Structure 1
Amino acid sequence: MSDVLYVPIRRRDSSGHVRLEMRTLPDGRLALPAYTSPKELVRCCGPQQPWMGVDSTGLQEIHRTTGYDVVLLDGRQPPPPPVGDDDRPFEAPLGRRATR
């Protein structure tokens, strides 16, 4: 992995603060999109997408302030978290899933 990741941002407001483009995954986890190169960012987000480069210290600070659960690296969706036994749907006889 590169020493720098490129993250999409919203344009700076009048205060000069940057807002990150975060994503909420279908399973509820908070994701930080990040790209290994500006070329990858443009491929996924388009040429008009503002971005900033962050190093490992910057990534740690982003995690501290946002509490993101996963990094979406180069637009790849991570696997869903493991399902605990209590979270599994009811299994009907013969392995057919029962509908609720």
Structure 2
Amino acid sequence: MEHLIRVQNDYDRQVLAWLRGRIGDAALQTVALRLGRERKPYLSTICRSLGIRPPGRRQFAAEAARVHRTVGDQYLARIREILGQRPGDPAKDAALPARN
């Protein structure tokens, strides 16, 4: 979609992904082509023409932090599981990757 719409920073990329999920690629392409006759339209222009207000930067940051926390918790749980194993337990050793 970036070939049709002016994307200038990471926030624009997040808004573009959010907008694609909300209205779909076909509708977004139609609006971009209608608004961008001579040059690519700004994402804010597209949102205004649709009457849609995208989430703020803080909302995107909060969602990213939640996802990062979830992934980190999963890794910590796996590390605790590995550290809690007794050495020489063949059933549990089979689950561990082989060392070269």
TM-score, length-scaled by structure 1: 0.26
* Higher helix residue share: 2
* Higher strand residue share: 1
Greater C-alpha Rg: 2
TM-score, length-scaled by structure 2: 0.26
